Amino acid sequence: MTRRELTCEEVIEQLFDYLDREVSSQHRADIERHLERCRDCFSRAEFEKRLRAKVEKSVSVQAPQRLRRRVKDLLDRFDTDETNSTN
Amino acid sequence: MSASSSSGDGLSRQRRRQWFEHEIERLMDRLYGTALRLTRHPDDAEDIVAESIGKAWTKLDELRDPERFEGWLFHILNNTFINEWRRRQCRPKLADDPDNCEPDDLDATHFSLFQQLHQPFLLWWGSTEDRFLNELLQDDLQQALDALPDPYRVIVVFVEVQGCTYGEVAELLGIPLGTVRSRLSRGRAMLQKVLWKQAREAGFTVDCRGTEGKPS
Ligand SMILES: [Zn+2]
């Protein structure tokens, strides 16, 4: 038995669920089959994927040295406390 | 405690600390960058990162599988942020009621950048979508994310940046799954609308379509 093909409208409606990996593997395969055959939906999916990758990358910001020092001091303090309490 | 076991503890503690610091250093920029997008303020971001690392260090024994350190640490970061965020809200349930903090010009339930950019025919010099994405800078994205009201921005960051599942977000924020979905979809639409507005203000045009100058 062949499964009913998804329409463009259905694919676009579920596109983000698909990109977020929130669809079942069967459903995922159905969407992918549509994307292989439909240029419009494929372009849309590619666009959203690339935009999303840019959003993800946008959080790569250099942490200030001050924060690194603060973290080191914090860990030193924990270590000192631990050493004092075990001895 | 015998001398040998005490020196053994010291050594393993030292090794643990080395391992921990190495992992932290590897993740530091992303921890800070994520906290900065969540809080929007450098000082708050530093506080949250420092507090999360402190918590992770003291609770390190609870981490069964070192391979999962990264996810575990980001989970602590998210929780630390949410606790702080809740603490600061004057209205106790703002997280469940985002509508009263949504600027009108961001109203964008169904806005799609792709629909603004896409040409129904192929252009030999490449698509407008490609040109748009290629011209999009990290600063543009940071500004656009920061323009979103908290309840939307937070979910977009959890899902798009950290790859959280909808279920994880629902649990983190203590809201129903349906709310996660609707806010995420609205947050994305808002984000795209802001990016579109920024691009147009910076002089980006969609050629051959005649949308220029029309009121949006
Ligand atoms: Zn299609």
Query: So what CATH class is B13-88?
Result: mainly alpha
Q: What is the ipTM metric for this complex?
A: 0.88
Q: Establish if A9 touches chain B: CB-CB under 8 angstroms.
A: no
Residue A82 DSSP label: H
CATH for A8-86?
Answer: 1.10.10
Q: Establish if A69 touches chain B: CB-CB under 8 angstroms.
A: no
Distance between alpha carbon B89 and the CA centroid of its chain, in Å? 19
What are A32's two structure tokens?
């992918």
Distance between alpha carbon B91 and the CA centroid of its chain, in Å? 23
Query: Which chain B residues are within 8 Å of A64, Cβ to Cβ?
Result: 32, 42, 46
B120 contact partners, CB below 8 Å, separation of at least 6: none
CA dist., res. B83 & res. B86, Å (int): 5
Contact A74, B54 (CB under 8 A): yes
Yes or no, beta carbons of B17 and A64 under 8 Å apart: no
Q: What is the pLDDT along chain B (216 residues), one digit of tens a residue?
A: 444 444 456 668 888 999 999 999 999 999 999 999 999 999 999 999 999 999 999 999 999 898 999 999 999 999 999 999 988 875 444 444 554 455 555 667 778 999 888 877 666 667 888 899 999 999 999 999 999 999 999 999 999 999 999 999 999 999 999 999 999 999 999 999 999 999 999 888 886 544 444 444
Query: Which chain B residues are within 8 Å of A39, Cβ to Cβ?
Result: none
Query: So what CATH class is B99-201?
Result: mainly alpha
pTM of the model: 0.84
The domains of chain A are located at 8-86
One-letter amino acid at B213 equals G
CA dist., res. B12 & res. B74, Å (int): 25
Yes or no, beta carbons of B54 and A70 under 8 Å apart: no
Instruction: Tell which residue, A2, A30, A3, has the closest CA to residue A17.
Output: A30
**Is A56 or B1 the better-scoring residue by pLDDT?**
A56
